[in-house]
Chains A and B, each alone.
Chain A
């Protein structure tokens, strides 16, 4: 409040009482209005503080519990059977599995999403069709991730007769796709028309204009969207429990059950064994570190806010 004077004209509290007569607001006595102001300010700050509590509490707990059992060993070892002492315990396979599945999901969804967004902003002629597609994309982004998992189980796991990294990747790609399309679309829309005009004037066709001018100009925005989608996919559990399942071993190609950090945390959080609970926290620390790094990176790439989910 001390710096309020720096932000005219929104900060001025009316001081002159005679203004009240001309005001269209219900005639209240000054103390009531002051109480309202002070009360609301207090309430807003209180609730704002409440909003920051869970984040602080979650981060603090994960760092505290996660670091307690963190060592280089967990990053390079396989999960040990319960009750076996003296065996290296870790979740290296889950880290690798997450990276593989998110990587493939990115390979599937990024080109598709970016090109689809190009169609929406650059090529589409029929406005009604565009609106329908855009609307479908928004709806797709709201489909619960567990429903996506059930869908991919029906489509791929049953057809190929196995739980696989591939099925998990496709499920993650379905979740990433609308995020990438929406982010790319808004990034492309920010590229001024004049740049397209200039490219065209130099004799570029639509593909050249799009690839070399528009997408290049929108690259920071697209990157942000892609990174956010990757971060989101890395943390997803529900689409993986029926598709990639899990495995105690190293990932073995795309056609076999594949471990992931998120499913490991889910399994171990529900475990009654203390050592597995501890490992869940450590895995949470690693996963959160990964996801938050990507997220913050995304914000740094472009300081332009895009809704996260």
Chain B
């Protein structure tokens, strides 16, 4: 942005603000209860909705608003400074963190599985081996009655339907966790598509906005296969495939199998850690973080953020399991609370 651009913009904005303020003094007088506005990942959105609903009930004047616009959106809006905190399950890169002048702290809040969901009426508990599912999403297997899928599913009557892949239309941490895992187990996938929040898909997939959008596309399209956070699959009664893990077992996504996958995780100093191919448990799992600034405008905001983080990592964690997210290990949670308490400040 040029200097001129910014000043014109500010003049325009201030004049509009002035106009609106003169027009509607009544509205601005509506109580200024302290509200924290957040936006970002859709992966933990069902969990966060519950968190913030319970949190405001327990702490009356405090309110938290969280909009699921995707991890990419959360990161962008953190950089632009339009929100008070962000959510992402593709942790910010160092380059992205460097763009935030107020500084960022990543706080892990939960872990979850990315389940592969499909829409094939009559086919339950579809099994997909490590060689097969990357090939489906890189376009090397295109029909449901492919012999390689049939080999994983003896005795199952697979229909003669084209495979409709469904992916995210927006930049997504779920996509990152998913493509990161597929890249780790399939060189072909890594070479053709690679890992990222918005990789370049080669199968001309259906695209939906948010985890919800993908789940909806799969639910509505016969022969569709996509990937969504486990809670979305479970709550919407979508069929989730059993995947072969590194120990060669076929595992269904569940809270227990995800906890197994994430059990051996070592959290580094900045809490940024990924699991590309766990040794045990359900193979596609990842963490999700909230991003908070190191510096806030006012002391009230800084305090509100500290209080919220403490609540999410203590009382809030008890909600995690009921919605099939894993908990953050207590020791890590304690460390995160300390980091936030000691670093978050106001100007």
Chain A residues in the interface with B (C-beta under 8 A): 80-84, 100, 104, 107-108, 154-163, 166, 169-170, 245-249, 251-257, 267, 270-274
CA distance A14 to B52 in the complex (A): 77
Q: Which residues of B in the span 294-310 have a Cβ within 8 Å of any Cβ on A?
A: none
CA distance A108 to B236 in the complex (A): 43
Q: Are B30 and A83 in contact (CB under 8 A)?
A: no
Q: Are B20 and A256 in contact (CB under 8 A)?
A: no
List 5 A-B pairs, minimum CB-CB distance, nearest first. A272-B215, A81-B49, A159-B13, A272-B236, A159-B9
30 of the cross-chain contacts (CB-CB < 8 Å) are: A80-B53, A81-B49, A82-B49, A83-B46, A84-B53, A104-B20, A107-B23, A155-B13, A156-B9, A159-B9, A159-B12, A161-B80, A161-B82, A162-B83, A245-B39, A247-B37, A248-B65, A252-B63, A254-B20, A254-B27, A255-B28, A256-B35, A257-B37, A257-B65, A257-B67, A270-B210, A270-B216, A272-B212, A272-B235, A273-B236
The 8 A CB mask of B1-42 against A (1 = contact, 0 = none) is: 000001001101100110111011001101111010101000
The 8 A CB mask of B74-106 against A (1 = contact, 0 = none) is: 000000111100000000000000000000000
Q: Are A247 and B235 in contact (CB under 8 A)?
A: no
Interface size class of B (residues with CB under 8 A): 35 or more
CA distance A57 to B163 in the complex (A): 32
Instruction: Enumerate chain B residues within 8 angstroms of A254, measured Cβ to Cβ.
Output: 20-21, 24, 27-28
Q: Any chain A CB within 8 A of the CB of B325?
A: no
Partner of A245, one of B31, B32, B67, B236: B67
Partner of B323, one of A83, A247, A248: A83
- The smallest beta-carbon distance between A230 and chain B, in angstroms, is 16
Q: Are A81 and B46 in contact (CB under 8 A)?
A: yes
Q: Are A166 and B16 in contact (CB under 8 A)?
A: yes
CA distance A166 to B35 in the complex (A): 17
Q: Any chain A CB within 8 A of the CB of B208?
A: yes
Partner of A156, one of B13, B210, B213: B13
Main secondary structure of the interface of A (DSSP, over half): loop
Instruction: Enumerate chain B residues within 8 angstroms of A158, measured Cβ to Cβ.
Output: 9, 80, 82
Q: Any chain A CB within 8 A of the CB of B189?
A: no
- The smallest beta-carbon distance between B217 and chain A, in angstroms, is 9
Q: Which of A108, A159, A162, A249 has the most CB of B within 10 A?
A: A159
Q: Are B6 and A159 in contact (CB under 8 A)?
A: yes
Which residue of chain B is the closest to A275 with respect to CB atoms? B235
Do A270 and B82 form a contact, CB below 8 Å, given A83-B323, A104-B20, A247-B65?
no
Instruction: Enumerate chain A residues within 8 angstroms of B32, measured Cβ to Cβ.
Output: 252-253
Do A84 and B12 form a contact, CB below 8 Å, given A272-B212, A272-B216?
no
Instruction: Enumerate chain A residues within 8 angstroms of B9, measured Cβ to Cβ.
Output: 154-156, 158-159
Instruction: Enumerate chain B residues within 8 angstroms of A247, measured Cβ to Cβ.
Output: 37, 65, 67
CA distance A160 to B238 in the complex (A): 42
Do A271 and B216 form a contact, CB below 8 Å, given A248-B52, A254-B24, A254-B28?
yes
Q: Any chain A CB within 8 A of the CB of B289?
A: no
Instruction: Enumerate chain A residues within 8 angstroms of B66, measured Cβ to Cβ.
Output: 248
